[in-house]
Amino acid sequence: MGMKYNGKYLKGFLGAHEIKALEGQIKDAHEKLHNKTGLGNDFLGWVNLPTDYNKFEFERIKRAAARIQKNSQVLIVIGIGGSYLGARAAIELLRSPFYNNLKKDTPEIYFAGNNINPTYLCELLSICEGKDISLNVISKSGTTTEPALAFRIFRELIEKKYGKEGARERIFCTTDAARGTLKELCNREGYETFVIPDDVGGRFSVLTAVGLLPIAVAGADIEAIMNGAKAAQDELSVCDLDRNDCYKYAAARNCLYRKGKSMELLVSFDPSFTMMSEWFKQLFGESEGKDNKGLFPASVTFSTDLHSLGQFVQEGSRLMFETVVDIKKPKQDLFINEDAENFDGLNFLSNQNMSIVNRKAFEGTVLAHTGGGVPNIVLEVPEINEHEFGYMVYFFEKACAISGYLLGVNPFDQPGVESYKKNMFALLGKPGYESEKAALEAQING
Ligand code: PA5
């Protein structure tokens, strides 16, 4: 089935002719992507990944996941940015935001190395006490400080608990095929290693071992995910704006940007989608936000956030449009019974499924927000399962790449991420940063 674009709620904000006017630019962006002639063309491995992935490694991922499921109560996934968000999003969406607390025959999964907060790590270490654990450390560059630091701590824990030999059975590395400190360490210690292909950037890597190993450990069907992505690859490769929903979405958001909108608010009515929104924000934010251009990606989960940011959306600065992910069928439903006393006055909601109430909240909100001057794009998803997840990942990745080219930026680099690192290293006294350290300290103390 796959994600579908619905432009119905753009009426009064964007005419069909405005989207049509981008036809030539969409075609140009499509050709740049498919002929590998655009900016960042060294990083297009994700385009054909659903068909051209390493089948041998895929089987190895499944075997490693089965081993972890068998010998571990806890899997710690260490990574940051594109090296963790996709896996976490998939596990919350496909299994549950309550995954770790559910009754299940798969290990609990926690994420580390995505911050440098000591309390977070101390709490995680105490969760691991007395439990059998495995580690999956993920870093394409193999040099990122946050995961490297967390890995140092968890490697020490695991070696103390199981010895060097035992640790080898429980540490799985996902990194570059040849380069980086992590790769060197894996070679030295003999850890099982999975490869992030050279031409797949971090935020486009969820369909590689980066995402697939933790997702498989959580018990999701990674074969079905790849099949969903393949369906998207096939359907969304047509260079025809009228027939390609991904291109319609990219064109519509670009039109709204040109008309003065500076923020895209990704909306869902399902709390299990919240981490998908985090993945989306990283994908689009790091890809588009450069050269003083780009839509700021933000997200909300309704109806929760209707009681916080909803006020701003309805009546605050008119700077945003919303992209609402409309999941047609929830994974589970709940029947609302009639109450004889009707003390809470809620019998008008009874004798129907709760999903109907959520749907009316969706309809009511779209009408309220468009009425308040906020354009709404709707992206329809038939249901939540592995196939739809794979489709959605590919849909958003492609929409992001096309959006970057429409904007005239390189969607596949992230030069701005280096600035904070340089300052942090200098302030911490990393060798080679001596002159920057003095200048920064003068600023702080001045
Ligand atoms: O999308 C990206 O490239 C980044 O967000 C990276 O995923 C992130 O910085 C982590 O990098 P690495 O995997 O090299 O540790």
334-371: pLDDT as tens digits: 999 999 999 999 999 999 999 999 999 999 999 999 99
User: Which of 90, 95, 105 lies closest to 332 in space, CA to CA?
Assistant: 95
Q: How far is the CA of 30 from the centre of ligand 1 (A)?
A: 25
Ligand 1 binding pocket mutation candidate from 85, 139, 140, 199 (most atoms within 8 A of CB): 140
Distance CA 112, CA 115 (A): 7
pLDDT band at 157 (very low <50, low <70, confident <90, very high): very high
The ipTM assigned to this model is 0.98
Residues 388 and 337 reside in one and the same domain: yes
Q: Is 45 helix (H, G, I), strand (E, B) or coil?
A: coil
Count of other CB atoms within 10 angstroms of residue 277: 20
Indicate if the pLDDT at residue 138 is higher than 90.
yes
Q: Is residue 44 within 8 Å of residue 36, measured between CB atoms?
A: yes
pLDDT band at 275 (very low <50, low <70, confident <90, very high): very high
Indicate if the pLDDT at residue 287 is higher than 90.
yes
Domain assignment present for residue 431? The answer is no
Q: Which helix (H) or strand (E) holds 133?
A: strand 133-139
Q: Number of folded domains in the chain?
A: 2
Q: Is residue 171 within 8 Å of residue 158, measured between CB atoms?
A: yes
Cβ(202) to ligand 1 under 6 A? yes
Indicate if the pLDDT at residue 332 is higher than 90.
yes
- 128 φ, ψ to 5°? -75, -15
Residues 88 and 171 reside in one and the same domain: yes
Task: Give pLDDT tens digits for 78-126.
Answer: 999 999 999 999 999 999 999 999 999 999 999 999 999 999 999 999 9
Residues 208 and 260 reside in one and the same domain: no
Cβ(222) to ligand 1 under 6 A? no
Whether residue 421 lies in the annotated active site: yes
Domain assignment present for residue 270? The answer is yes
Pick from 29-38, 136-145, 279-288, 401-410: least confident: 136-145
Ligand 1 binding pocket mutation candidate from 43, 77, 78, 83 (most atoms within 8 A of CB): 83
Which residue in 192, 278, 286, 386 is the catalytic one? 286
Nearest CA to ligand 1 atom 15: 139
Average pLDDT, the chain: 97
Q: Which residue matches tokens 């906020």?
A: 374
Task: Give pLDDT tens digits for 169-195.
Answer: 999 999 999 988 999 999 999 999 999
Residues 20 and 82 reside in one and the same domain: no
Q: How far is the CA of 202 from the centre of ligand 1 (A)?
A: 5
Cβ(230) to ligand 1 under 6 A? no
Cβ(255) to ligand 1 under 6 A? no
pTM summary value: 0.97
Give residues with Cβ within 8 angstroms of 343, minimum separation 6: none
Ligand 1 binding pocket mutation candidate from 77, 78, 84, 141 (most atoms within 8 A of CB): 141
Whether residue 161 lies in the annotated active site: no
Residues 77 and 141 reside in one and the same domain: yes
Residue 418: per-residue pLDDT: 84
Residue 446: per-residue pLDDT: 85
Domain that holds residue 129: 48-220
Q: What is the CATH number of the domain that holds 53?
A: 3.40.50.10490
Residues 128 and 13 reside in one and the same domain: no
Q: Which helix (H) or strand (E) holds 109?
A: strand 108-112
Residues 252 and 388 reside in one and the same domain: yes
Nearest CA to ligand 1 atom 12: 139
